[in-house]
Chains A and B, each alone.
Chain A
Amino acid sequence: MRESIIMKIHYGTALGAVVLVAVHVLFRITMMSYGDSLQYENVIANYKFVPYAIMLELILVLLSVHGFNGLRVILIELKQGKSYEKAVTYGCLAAMAILIAYGSRTILLTSMGMT
């Protein structure tokens, strides 16, 4: 994949994450007091509300893609070499996939009431 496409995804995920995290924070402070919104029942209720669960899933994907690409960029700037860069790229992709899979599992199980 061309670097410009990767960086377009990088900038896009940053913008998307800022918007969705802002919505998430606004939900926390406008629906009820911030402390109450973090009560166990209210958190579980958020997961069971499907549109909200989808938003959480989107935040997870956006932040994972952005964060791991950022890490890849930092690591290839620190050290160079064909095999090293290949290992960094695939390592970051694998770590990103594992994090998304693990986070999605949590969102899915909680929204289906399997807690």
Chain B
Amino acid sequence: MANTQIAEEQSSSEVSSKTVTLKIAKFNPEHDSGTQFVDFKVQYERWTTVLDAILDVKEHLDHSVAVRYSCRQASCGSCGMKINGRPRLACFTKISELDSDVITVEPMNNYPIVRDLVVDLEGMFDTHKKMKPFIINEDSEITNTKEFLQTPEQIEEYIQFANCIKCGLCNSACPTMATDSSFLGPQALTQAYRYVADNRDKGKNERLKIIDESHGIWRCHFAGSCSQVCPKGVDPAMGIQLLRGYLLGFRK
């Protein structure tokens, strides 16, 4: 019975090989005045991802398409781009799930464009580093040969925020980042919360001081688009609100 089902699925997938129009944004800031969209017809199967399609174009139709990728399994956060107007990971988005005959791929918003679909994430990494993304604790696990034991409840406080892969989709979707280039952004603020909420960490006051500035945590309008686009299920909007609780005195 199971074999028949698999055979049926295989035969239906063979039949379902379709064609889609891939519109790729092409822009080189060194000599182009504006973005141009180039259309490519590509064949896809049920399992074909947008990244697969882009790489197919790059291999067979236009070698000059610039795209950044690495792991192909939503772990490295390299292939973030705008797919049909929404920031997504190209390796984690199947063409079949988009339910459209035209797939438009553009570079992410709120980042300087390096070329075509590649954006400069340096600014995001800088603000990430500013948050001191490490455990600050003078009692070292190594020198004192002492384990920092945590209960499941203590881990629950921050664990979802530790899933961030620094893909930058949240910053790209953030409406505040679109106008305020100095805003720390949901990625950095969420990482600040991840460490502040970790009971092993003693750097809470240092981090709260960093985020409590005119372009810091208070500029978040709680639009929630960061949480909508996160491919790892992190909820930056909630992290930011919980972090505000420390500054307003609701949380200790």
Contact = CB atoms under 8 A, between A and B. Distances in A.
Interface of A: 2-4, 6-8, 73, 76-78, 80, 85
Interface of B: 176, 179-183, 212-216, 218-219, 247-248
A77 B214 CA distance: 9
Contact of A3 (B180, B181, B218): B218
Contact of A4 (B176, B219, B247): B247
A73 B215 CA distance: 9
A8 B248 contact: yes
28 contacts: A2-B212, A3-B212, A3-B213, A3-B214, A3-B216, A3-B218, A4-B212, A4-B218, A4-B247, A4-B248, A6-B218, A7-B218, A73-B218, A73-B219, A76-B180, A76-B215, A77-B176, A77-B179, A77-B180, A77-B183, A77-B219, A78-B179, A78-B180, A80-B180, A80-B181, A80-B182, A80-B215, A85-B214
B142 to A, nearest CB: 35
A76 B176 CA distance: 11
Nearest to A11: B248
A12 to B, nearest CB: 11
10 closest cross-chain pairs (CB), A and B: A4-B247, A77-B180, A80-B182, A4-B212, A7-B218, A3-B218, A3-B212, A77-B179, A2-B212, A3-B214
Q: Is chain A's interface secondary structure helix, strand, loop, or mixed overall? A: helix
Contacts of B181: 80
Contacts of A8: 248
A85 B183 CA distance: 14
B114 to A, nearest CB: 22
B55 to A, nearest CB: 38
Contacts of A2: 212
Nearest to A10: B218
B232 to A, nearest CB: 28
Contacts of B183: 77
Nearest to B214: A3
A80 B181 CA distance: 7
A2 to B, nearest CB: 5
Contacts of B212: 2-4
A78 to B, nearest CB: 6
B251 to A, nearest CB: 13
Most chain B CB neighbours (cut-off 10 Å) among A3, A4, A7, A8: A4
A107 to B, nearest CB: 32
A6 B248 CA distance: 11
Contact of A76 (B214, B247, B248): B214
Contacts of B182: 80
Contacts of B213: 3
